[in-house]
Amino acid sequence: MKKFLVPAIVFAVSAINIQPGLAEINASKIFKKRCAICHKLSGKGFAPPFSQMNKDPKVLKSTIENGRRSMPKFGNKLSAAEIDAMVTFIQSNQAK
C-alpha cells in the first residue's frame, strides 16, 4: 500500500502545481490555431488586436461563445475551460 500511496501523492501535488500554467499554454495554442489568422498581436490583422477588444470578461466570453459580426462562434468548438482560459489570455495581453 505504501508503494502506491507515495507516488500517487507526489503526482497529485505535481498536477496541482502545474495546472495554472497549462491553461495559459493551451490558450496560447488555441489563439495561434483559431484566432491569429484574424487577430494579430501587433494590430495589423483583419480584426481588432487585444488592446482594442472589450475589457469586460463577460463580453469577451459571450463573444467567443456566440461570435460577433464576422467572427464565428466557438461555443461549440471550445470547452468552457478553454473559453475561460482564452478570456484570461486576452486580458493578460491587453496591457501589452
pLDDT, tens digit (0-9, with 9 covering 90-100), for 64-88: 999 998 899 999 999 999 999 999 9
Which residue segments constitute the domains of the chain, with CATH numbers given? 2-94 (1.10.760.10)
Q: Work out the number of other CB atoms within 10 angstroms of the CB of residue 47.
A: 15
CA distance 55 to 53: 6
Is the whole-model pTM more than 0.85?
Answer: no
Q: How far apart are CA 81 and CA 93, in angstroms?
A: 18
Q: Is the model's pLDDT at 2 over the cut of 80?
A: no
Where b means 16+ CB within 10 Å and e means fewer, 9-24 reads eeeeeeeeeeeeeebe
Q: Count the Cβ atoms, other than its own, within 10 Å of residue 42.
A: 6
